[in-house]
Amino acid sequence: MAAFDKVGRDRRGMTLPMLGAGGDISVTDKRRARRFELQSALRYRTNGDGHWSKGITRNISYSGVLFHGEDWTEPGTHLEMSLVLPRGISGEWVAEVVCRGTVMRAERSGSDEGGPLIASRISHYRFVRT
């Protein structure tokens, strides 16, 4: 599977990922990424853990995801996440995205949505065609 492992520039000088052979996409651009409001099922676990917890996304970008999870996760925790993106976000096809990231913020929720609100930076991701 091809991946983006280099960064280039477009004609306006904006940072762009470049296609490479590394297997993952590494997120290195520090600009504020465009967020998509999205409520979609998500699975997450701490790296190496066999148990997947469930969550529901609130919004997502290529550099991070905000979601309500069923289990509390401390900031600084490294996560593996898996979710399915609809056609409008991922392009011409529905895609499963498998990500690695780090919890940046977690808030205990008092809302009807339940579970803690978790904000995770995404450090690597790959698309798995469904």
Neighbours of 103 (CB within 10 A): 20
User: Which one-letter amino acid corresponds to residue 90?
Assistant: S
Average pLDDT over residues 31-49: 84
pLDDT digits (tens, 9 = 90+) for 54-80: 999 999 988 999 999 999 999 999 999
pLDDT digits (tens, 9 = 90+) for 121-130: 999 999 886 5
Domains observed in the chain:
31-129 (2.40.10.220)
The residues with which 106 forms a beta bridge, in sequence order, are: 118
Q: Is 128 helix (H, G, I), strand (E, B) or coil?
A: strand
